[in-house]
Amino acid sequence: MRNDPIVEEIRRIRREHSDRFGADLRAICDDLRRQERESSREFVASPPRRAKIATVAATPAADERIATEFPKRCGKCGQKAMRLATLPYATTIEHEGCSYRVRIPSLTVPQCGHCQAISIDDEADREISAAFRRCARLLTPDEIRQGRERLGMNEQQFASLLGVGEATLLRWETGAQIQQRAMDRFLRLCLRSPTAVQLLLSDFQPSARST
């Protein structure tokens, strides 16, 4: 494709045409329109493409979210006018005695077209939770899961290594629960240091050996 002679020829013609007008876009377009008018050939034009305003793509996932994941009726004004909108969002989250101001430049969230009230659904909640973790510098659910997988451990093995319940680890990995900071630091230590993992696997595990 790079050395296509037809493409090369078109580029050469375009360059020569552009050079005749000193690369002045307005002059180039005026001349092309003049050629179009004076030619007897038929020209085909596509309709102008409009810029999308709210970036809520009509993907199957978005359609499914609209259809199933939140009620159509606004909880505030009662109008049946809820639809997905993308907007800037900010909130304050308290965690272990600290307040974190969490800002999301573009959050996709159900919003009432009538009174503009928003309703945080599961998907938006996950996004806010992820933004909070970034803000508070805590590992994300994906980082925890991927780190565990790199260690070659299943949920049960990793939970046992950390000394937490498997259900707790699952909640961290799915984002249903945010780990305490002390746990986050412990997780980081285990995910980064094979020595720490080896220590936990040997010395600190209850052993059947007796001396």
Chain contacts with Zn ion (rule: CB under 5 A) = 74, 76-77, 112, 114-115, 117
Residue 91 backbone dihedrals phi, psi, to 5 degrees: -155, 165
Per the CB < 8 A criterion, the answer to whether 56 and 84 are in contact is yes
Of 85 and 131, nearer to Zn ion (C-beta) is 85
User: Whole-number minimum distance, CB 127 to Zn ion, in Å?
Assistant: 22
Of 82 and 107, nearer to Zn ion (C-beta) is 82
Of 11 and 73, nearer to Zn ion (C-beta) is 73
Q: How far apart are CA 107 and CA 123, in angstroms?
A: 10
User: Whole-number minimum distance, CB 66 to Zn ion, in Å?
Assistant: 16
User: Whole-number minimum distance, CB 166 to Zn ion, in Å?
Assistant: 42
Amino acid at 115: C
User: Whole-number minimum distance, CB 128 to Zn ion, in Å?
Assistant: 21
Q: How far apart are CA 155 and CA 204, in angstroms?
A: 19
Burial of 16: CB neighbours in 10 Å, binned 0-12, 13-18, 19+: exposed
Which two tokens mark 40? 């007897």
User: Whole-number minimum distance, CB 84 to Zn ion, in Å?
Assistant: 14
Of 124 and 190, nearer to Zn ion (C-beta) is 124
Per the CB < 8 A criterion, the answer to whether 161 and 153 are in contact is yes
User: Whole-number minimum distance, CB 107 to Zn ion, in Å?
Assistant: 18
Burial of 164: CB neighbours in 10 Å, binned 0-12, 13-18, 19+: middle
Of 74 and 131, nearer to Zn ion (C-beta) is 74
Of 121 and 184, nearer to Zn ion (C-beta) is 121
- Of 171, 175, 197, the closest CA to residue 186 belongs to 197
Q: Which residues of 52-62 are buried (b: 16+ CB within 10 A; e: fewer)?
A: eeeebeeeeee
